[in-house]
Each structure stands twice: as structure tokens, then as C-alpha cells.
Amino acid sequence: MADWSKLPADVLELIARQPHFVEDRLRFGLVCKSWRMVMLQADSYSCSLLPWLMLTEKEESDMRQVYCPFNQKVYELSLPEICGRRCWGSPYGWLVTVDAAYNMHLLNPLSHVQIFLPPLHKCSNLKSLVLLS
């Protein structure tokens, strides 16, 4: 029987470029540890031609539901990083989150990579930006 975990990295990268939907990328990453590492490093590859829509948070739960309009399915993701935070979608699958203390983060819900942003109260031009929009 073939050992799929032994495929060369360059071959895996070529395969990782093929999926266009988040579901397919998730399945790719579930094959084995080496495939998951390639999937996590493949953030620059295009995926998700249609957006996932995040449903409202259930109180005190780490689980968030997302709806895929392409196949009309609801998926559950474990996202303890955003429990109690407000969330907005952004390009390329990242989420912008804000907590009760106005701390902002970017979060990739697939890799769980989190980037801390300056808190809202540190944005001196926030009022003018809000008035312009």
C-alpha cells in the first residue's frame, strides 16, 4: 500500500493549488500531518470562490457555525480564539475580531493564526473614519 505522507513537498504543493473551495482544502489537510503542513503554508493559493457566512455565536461556546452557499451546508468550527468577540469577514478568509476591551485581531479560522492589531482606542483618527463611511 502507498504511503501518501511520503510524497515530495513540491508535488504536494502542486496538489494543494488545485482545490478552489474551503471544504476541499480542509479535506486535503486531513490526509496526514505532512499534507496539513502544506495546506497551512498554502495561504496564497486561491480558494473559496463563494464566501462562507458565519452564523451568530452561541453563548459560552467555542464552536461557530458557518454556512456554505455553494453546497448549502452548515459546518461547525472550533474557534476558542473568538469566544465573546465581535467578528467581521475580510478578504482571503481572515476574520477581524474585537473584544469588549476594544482589542482587535486578525484570525485565520483554518490555521488559527492570530495577528494582534492596535486597540480601537489607540486609533486617533477613528471618529473621522467613521464619519466618512
Domain extents in the chain: 4-41, 53-121
**pLDDT of res. 115:** 92
Tell me the HSE value of 22 on the side-chain side, using a 13 A CA sphere: 23
- Give the Cα separation of 115 and 113 in Å (integer): 7
Architecture (CATH level 2) of domain 4-41: Up-down Bundle (1.20)
- Mean pLDDT of the region 35-47: 66
- Give the Cα separation of 126 and 133 in Å (integer): 11
- Give the Cα separation of 59 and 56 in Å (integer): 9
Give 33 or 42, the one with higher predicted confidence: 33
Give 56 or 74, the one with higher predicted confidence: 74
**pLDDT of res. 30:** 80
- Give the Cα separation of 115 and 106 in Å (integer): 5
